[in-house]
Amino acid sequence: MPNHFHLMVYVNQVEVSPEVSPGATWSRTRTKISFNQSLGIMLASYSRAINKQENWTGSLFRTETKAVCLTDVKGISPNWITDMGVTQFVLDTPEKEYPNVCFNYILKNPVKDGLVIRAENWEFSSYSDFIGIRKGKLINRDRIQEFGLNLGKK
Protein backbone atom coordinates (compact mmCIF):
# COMPACT_ATOMS: atom_id res chain seq x y z
CA MET A 1 0.00 0.00 0.00
CA PRO A 2 1.39 3.46 -0.70
CA ASN A 3 0.93 4.73 2.85
CA HIS A 4 0.80 1.62 5.08
CA PHE A 5 1.41 -2.10 5.22
CA HIS A 6 0.04 -5.18 6.91
CA LEU A 7 1.90 -8.26 8.07
CA MET A 8 0.35 -11.46 9.35
CA VAL A 9 3.11 -13.17 11.29
CA TYR A 10 3.11 -16.45 13.18
CA VAL A 11 5.02 -16.03 16.44
CA ASN A 12 6.78 -19.14 17.76
CA GLN A 13 7.45 -17.58 21.16
CA VAL A 14 6.31 -14.34 22.74
CA GLU A 15 9.70 -13.31 24.15
CA VAL A 16 13.02 -13.61 22.36
CA SER A 17 16.62 -13.08 23.35
CA PRO A 18 18.01 -10.31 21.16
CA GLU A 19 21.11 -10.79 19.08
CA VAL A 20 22.89 -7.47 19.19
CA SER A 21 25.35 -6.60 16.47
CA PRO A 22 28.65 -4.90 17.40
CA GLY A 23 28.20 -1.17 17.90
CA ALA A 24 24.44 -1.42 18.46
CA THR A 25 22.97 0.21 21.53
CA TRP A 26 21.17 -2.22 23.81
CA SER A 27 20.56 -2.18 27.52
CA ARG A 28 22.60 -5.04 28.97
CA THR A 29 20.08 -5.41 31.82
CA ARG A 30 17.31 -6.55 29.47
CA THR A 31 17.57 -10.12 28.33
CA LYS A 32 14.28 -10.69 26.54
CA ILE A 33 12.03 -8.57 24.35
CA SER A 34 8.41 -9.00 23.34
CA PHE A 35 7.12 -9.33 19.79
CA ASN A 36 5.82 -5.74 19.90
CA GLN A 37 9.25 -4.52 21.05
CA SER A 38 11.04 -6.50 18.33
CA LEU A 39 8.61 -5.10 15.75
CA GLY A 40 9.44 -1.61 17.05
CA ILE A 41 13.17 -2.32 16.73
CA MET A 42 12.66 -3.55 13.15
CA LEU A 43 10.67 -0.43 12.18
CA ALA A 44 13.22 1.87 13.86
CA SER A 45 16.07 0.13 12.00
CA TYR A 46 14.18 0.45 8.72
CA SER A 47 13.53 4.15 9.43
CA ARG A 48 17.22 4.76 10.15
CA ALA A 49 18.22 3.07 6.88
CA ILE A 50 15.70 5.01 4.78
CA ASN A 51 16.58 8.30 6.53
CA LYS A 52 20.28 7.68 5.86
CA GLN A 53 19.63 6.70 2.23
CA GLU A 54 17.41 9.71 1.55
CA ASN A 55 19.28 12.13 3.84
CA TRP A 56 16.10 12.60 5.89
CA THR A 57 15.39 12.82 9.60
CA GLY A 58 12.42 11.85 11.74
CA SER A 59 9.95 9.04 12.03
CA LEU A 60 8.54 7.23 9.02
CA PHE A 61 5.75 5.57 11.00
CA ARG A 62 2.86 6.94 13.01
CA THR A 63 2.66 6.36 16.72
CA GLU A 64 -0.48 4.26 16.08
CA THR A 65 1.65 1.46 14.60
CA LYS A 66 0.57 -1.66 16.42
CA ALA A 67 0.66 -5.42 16.58
CA VAL A 68 -2.44 -7.44 17.46
CA CYS A 69 -2.52 -11.12 18.39
CA LEU A 70 -5.25 -12.57 16.19
CA THR A 71 -5.73 -15.70 18.26
CA ASP A 72 -5.95 -13.92 21.62
CA VAL A 73 -7.82 -10.69 20.96
CA LYS A 74 -9.03 -9.37 24.30
CA GLY A 75 -12.55 -7.98 24.15
CA ILE A 76 -13.22 -9.21 20.61
CA SER A 77 -14.99 -12.48 20.01
CA PRO A 78 -13.72 -14.26 16.90
CA ASN A 79 -17.38 -14.99 16.16
CA TRP A 80 -18.45 -11.35 15.92
CA ILE A 81 -18.01 -9.92 12.45
CA THR A 82 -18.81 -6.47 11.10
CA ASP A 83 -19.25 -6.32 7.36
CA MET A 84 -20.57 -3.32 5.45
CA GLY A 85 -21.53 -1.66 8.74
CA VAL A 86 -23.60 -4.62 10.00
CA THR A 87 -22.43 -6.65 13.01
CA GLN A 88 -23.41 -10.32 13.03
CA PHE A 89 -22.86 -13.25 15.36
CA VAL A 90 -21.53 -16.26 13.46
CA LEU A 91 -21.27 -19.85 14.68
CA ASP A 92 -19.05 -22.52 13.11
CA THR A 93 -18.18 -20.47 10.04
CA PRO A 94 -14.37 -20.50 9.73
CA GLU A 95 -14.30 -17.82 7.01
CA LYS A 96 -15.96 -15.41 9.47
CA GLU A 97 -13.50 -16.00 12.34
CA TYR A 98 -11.29 -13.04 13.21
CA PRO A 99 -7.94 -14.42 11.91
CA ASN A 100 -9.55 -15.26 8.58
CA VAL A 101 -11.27 -11.88 8.38
CA CYS A 102 -7.85 -10.23 8.87
CA PHE A 103 -6.25 -12.57 6.32
CA ASN A 104 -8.83 -11.55 3.72
CA TYR A 105 -8.63 -7.88 4.64
CA ILE A 106 -4.86 -7.89 4.14
CA LEU A 107 -4.98 -9.72 0.80
CA LYS A 108 -7.87 -7.64 -0.57
CA ASN A 109 -6.88 -4.23 0.83
CA PRO A 110 -5.47 -2.91 -2.50
CA VAL A 111 -8.85 -3.60 -4.19
CA LYS A 112 -10.81 -2.06 -1.30
CA ASP A 113 -8.67 1.09 -1.53
CA GLY A 114 -9.12 1.30 -5.31
CA LEU A 115 -5.48 0.73 -6.24
CA VAL A 116 -6.26 -2.24 -8.51
CA ILE A 117 -9.40 -3.93 -9.80
CA ARG A 118 -8.16 -7.46 -9.00
CA ALA A 119 -6.08 -8.35 -5.95
CA GLU A 120 -3.59 -10.38 -8.00
CA ASN A 121 -2.66 -7.18 -9.88
CA TRP A 122 -1.09 -5.62 -6.76
CA GLU A 123 2.54 -6.73 -7.09
CA PHE A 124 3.44 -5.97 -3.46
CA SER A 125 0.88 -8.42 -2.03
CA SER A 126 1.24 -12.12 -1.38
CA TYR A 127 -2.21 -12.68 -2.93
CA SER A 128 -0.65 -13.94 -6.19
CA ASP A 129 1.52 -16.35 -4.20
CA PHE A 130 -1.50 -17.63 -2.28
CA ILE A 131 -3.56 -18.37 -5.40
CA GLY A 132 -0.54 -19.95 -7.12
CA ILE A 133 0.19 -17.59 -10.02
CA ARG A 134 3.51 -16.49 -8.50
CA LYS A 135 6.10 -18.53 -6.61
CA GLY A 136 6.96 -16.10 -3.80
CA LYS A 137 8.47 -17.35 -0.57
CA LEU A 138 6.90 -14.99 1.98
CA ILE A 139 3.84 -17.13 2.62
CA ASN A 140 3.77 -20.37 4.54
CA ARG A 141 1.17 -22.61 2.91
CA ASP A 142 1.38 -25.18 5.71
CA ARG A 143 0.66 -22.52 8.36
CA ILE A 144 -2.20 -21.08 6.28
CA GLN A 145 -3.71 -24.55 6.04
CA GLU A 146 -3.07 -25.29 9.74
CA PHE A 147 -5.05 -22.20 10.73
CA GLY A 148 -7.79 -22.89 8.17
CA LEU A 149 -7.29 -19.54 6.46
CA ASN A 150 -9.06 -19.17 3.12
CA LEU A 151 -10.25 -16.51 0.76
CA GLY A 152 -13.80 -15.35 1.24
CA LYS A 153 -16.16 -14.88 -1.65
CA LYS A 154 -15.79 -11.09 -1.89
12 and 52 in a single domain? The answer is yes
Which of 43, 36, 44 lies closest to 9 in space, CA to CA?
36
Structural domain for 136, as ranges:
80-146
Band of the pLDDT at 103, cuts 50, 70, 90? very high
Question: How far apart are alpha carbons 18 and 24 in whole angstroms?
Answer: 11
Secondary structure E strands in 39-97: 80-83, 86-89
Q: Are residues 45 and 5 in the same domain?
A: yes
The last residue of a domain, from among 67, 93, 120 = 67
Q: How many domains does the chain have?
A: 2
100 assigned to some structural domain: yes
Are residue 59 and residue 86 in the same domain, yes or no?
Answer: no
pLDDT digits (tens, 9 = 90+) for 107-145: 999 999 999 999 999 999 999 999 999 998 889 999 998
Q: How many CA atoms lie within 13 A of 30 on its CB side?
A: 14
- Mark which of 10, 36, 67 sits at the end of a domain: 67
* Burial of 19 per CB tally in 10 Å (0-12, 13-18, 19+): exposed
Whether residue 60 lies inside any domain: the answer is yes
Q: Does residue 72 sit within a domain?
A: no
